[in-house]
Structure 1
């Protein structure tokens, strides 16, 4: 959504490309962008009262469904990076590729040298900026804390984490959690009973159905206790948009690596985990469109992406995947790094 808002407001004159998931025609004629956020209302409310909402029904005919997030839409919009319009273009010369790498957002963030695990663990400031639950921050008072009582080193173990959620009367609640160790072995895969009445199981994304949860008695507190027991004091949790998973778990863990931030795009945009797995790991995930995602598969993919980045180093990662991930082609006249059109998605 932020990608669309940026382009609608600034367009190509601001150095932006069309959004990866839709096409906005005649952007130059856009005189203003208005965003209306109705907190507490969902798509189901609209369709339940479809006939009575004549104005919405007839004047707003383009409707898009996004993957739900525990973070408010407003927070996501206002915390996103604002494009820098004075970004220097890459010169059209023999060292074009070198310049593209030099000015790449990954290189600007992490440099060119190979470094260990600790270089990629988010600082507390970065965690707050990216909406991670942090001890002492308002809104996370009732969150459980893991035993982060050991200093993280480059030898600290990595664990991949992924969760699935449903929509309840109180918002998004956990329905499944998966944890994999440094070798990719699944050490936890649990279905979890939501505390509140379920409004939507979000089966398309989560794979969770009412029948699956009907016999389940495992609660959020039980899962929190299991994670505290499984994770050593210096464990580093790895995930893709991991803040969403920790919020669903109501869990604070201070040592994290987020692959959605590790493989940076320009302008604060993020790659989908499915795209990174396909382009970097050469592996297909999330292939079953009818039964949702497999959190164990997603947790393992995020873990492997982080391990690959650390082992390979930022410079080589960018050089190896500059074209397929960031859309840069040295032979082209265009000098901008832009998303490859072959990876566009119709919906989220």
Structure 2
């Protein structure tokens, strides 16, 4: 496994925003996965910042606001060294059940003010519209977000898990800095239309779940490795008992390629993604410093064109079994 040598992180460009890569996904620090050790999670955020990581990603639905509160506490005295990205639009009730997607002006303004309060900041660097419901008028949501930009409460706008058509409609209302969507070796749907549309418009790409929610680390061999029943992945079809067994073929195919370069599986997967363009910023999530160091080292791995092709060819689309989300959530993405 390649070690992080402490070298300065390379920069990437998301539209008008230049920042180091990778960023840090903070989902696992508050919810959805096995419960994190708070002290280790705090130390991981601080270590990431000390290593030059700038983009820290959370959302208002993570832990029903606890993700933002956690990040706010972790950033005391460090706010001026980071770019905070949080999301709005995906609604959950007090018990954590998903209710759907909203983009009306009143809701967006309410949630923005709540995010600012929970984070303890006076502005959000990147505010991301979290998914788009079927038939939703993205123009209303972007209009409301543009008001927040004019008021100085938000610096840059982004969209999450949208279609190329929605991106173009949104960008016509107000410049979009980035699209944040799942992109990894086993989730490549955005390559067909969304990535070309981003590059046509000069919009950057934030690659979420770049390690396939843990599968591409090689550390998940069975559902028992997912941890407690509260782990969100137990609800995802790709991690269902039958599909997870078949998806192990992906890990098997990548192991010799990683071993040949002396890399961990996670580093191979991240290195491939880092080579997809200077407008791509992966945000691998972790709440552990050892995994952070492993992930950061991947940005310095050089892959030849032949190696990149061999990695991609090892995982054809037919090798991936199961949808990313249950049906009721799949209806809310890529609209």
Higher strand share: 2
Question: Which structure's CA Rg is the greater one?
Answer: 1
TM-score range, shorter chain: under 0.3
| TM-score, L = length of structure 1 | 0.25
